[in-house]
Amino acid sequence: MRNQPEEVARCWARPECVPRVWLGGGAPRPAKPAAIKPRLPQSAVLHREQYQVPADQSQEIGDYNEALRQFMRTHGMREVDWSAQVLERLGSPEALTGRHRW
């Protein structure tokens, strides 16, 4: 959806429509509970009235990077810091794989 919005609009035969959200659904499997990926703390992402950089932001991000690496290690995933992923994804228009158009 987000990487090829024009293709999705063509599939829908509605070029004036711009797909914005893809919602997946399903039923939980009690025999195999899902692993929950760590999230940034609310204090790092919730801002009221205007954006404010928290005083301890570098500590929060460092803690999150470590929690995410631990999660990746536990699940056999390639370990990479969240902050490195963000910089990689936003480094150039090419890195956005077409999402910069929308």
How many angstroms separate the Cα of 56 from the Cα of each of 22, 33, 59, 62?
A: 34, 34, 5, 10
Q: What is the mean pLDDT of residues 2-13?
A: 74
Residue 14 is predicted with a pLDDT of 67
Percentage of the chain exceeding pLDDT 90: 19
Q: Which two tokens stand for residue 65?
A: 């990077």
pTM attached to this predicted model? 0.58
Q: List own/partner pairs for 91-99 with CB under 8 A and 24 or more apart.
A: 97/3, 98/3, 98/4, 98/5, 99/2, 99/3
pLDDT score of 65: 93
Closest by Cα among 4, 6, 7 to 97: 4
| Model pLDDT for residues 26-73, shown as the tens digit of each residue | 787 788 777 889 998 888 888 787 777 767 778 888 899 999 999 999
Class of residue 88 by CB neighbours under 10 A (exposed 0-12, middle 13-18, buried 19+) = exposed
